[in-house]
Structure 1
Amino acid sequence: MPIHVNDMMQLLCRVSEEQKMKAAFRHSGRGALVAGATAFVGGLVGGPPGIAVGGAVGGLLGAWMTSGQFKPIPQIILELPPVEQHRLYEDAYAIVRELDWTDLAQLTALVMGNTAIQQKLLGVLMNYLTSELRAEIRYGD
């Protein structure tokens, strides 16, 4: 039986919620830009010593910026653009396609009662988050 994209996202949210999964995104490009910009400004203001000081300060600031804040994965899933949700849907639907269910509540009960299916869905979710979104995953509180 087909399942709507929004329903699949709700199922993935439920599975990731059970594991208390969170993810953080590292913005290394933004950090490098900050480090370079402060080195440049330091060079304009203080010459060669300013470049060194600006680079050091910018490097620390850039590192702090890229550390990322962990957000619950259900929040991340629901904030994905529709195109990205559809890509995730296709991979997850391949796992639940063979199950016998009539509505979302029954499908959720089947998945939550089967550890193997949960692990497969978590694998799809982890693969998507780490390869497509370059996120760092953390479990628990």
Structure 2
Amino acid sequence: MTSEHFKSVPQILMELPAAEKQKLCAEVKAFIKNLQWNDARQLIYLVMKNPAVKAKVVGVLTTYLTKTLKAKIRYGE
């Protein structure tokens, strides 16, 4: 994690071009479209308490990072 090439996932997502953010957002929306939520906090809670939805969202993100961006994922300790 001390490598100069290391970037956190939030940092990578913030640096994405708008078109890529929209593409990734559309993929995630497919899994959360049936959830009833009013704000981001509630959406995060609903996703985190539903293991199936959480796994799908993480899967979309992981696939995007590894296939599209050719990133290598390293989990923190």
**Shorter-chain TM-score category?**
0.7 to 0.9
1:103 matched to which residue of 2?
39
Return the offset for 1:104.
Answer: 1.6
Gaps of 5+ in 2: none
How many residues end up aligned between the 2 structures?
76
Structure with greater proportional helix content: 1
Give runs of ≥4 in structure 1 deviating > 6 Å. none
Q: TM-score, normalised by structure 2?
A: 0.86
Partner of 1:131: 67
Structure 1 unaligned segments of length 5 or more: list them.
1-21, 23-66
Tell me, yes or no, if structure 1 residue 93 matches structure 2 residue 29.
Answer: yes
The CA RMSD measured in Å over matched residues stands at 1.8
The structure with the greater share of residues assigned to strand is 1
Q: Residue 118 of structure 1 aligns to a residue in which SS?
A: helix
1:77 counterpart = 2:30:
no
TM-score, structure 1 as length reference: 0.50
Q: CA deviation at 1:109?
A: 1.0
Distance in 1 of aligned mates of 2:44 and 2:6: 26
Q: Which has the higher contact order (CA 8 A, sep 6+)?
A: 1
Percent identity reads: 46
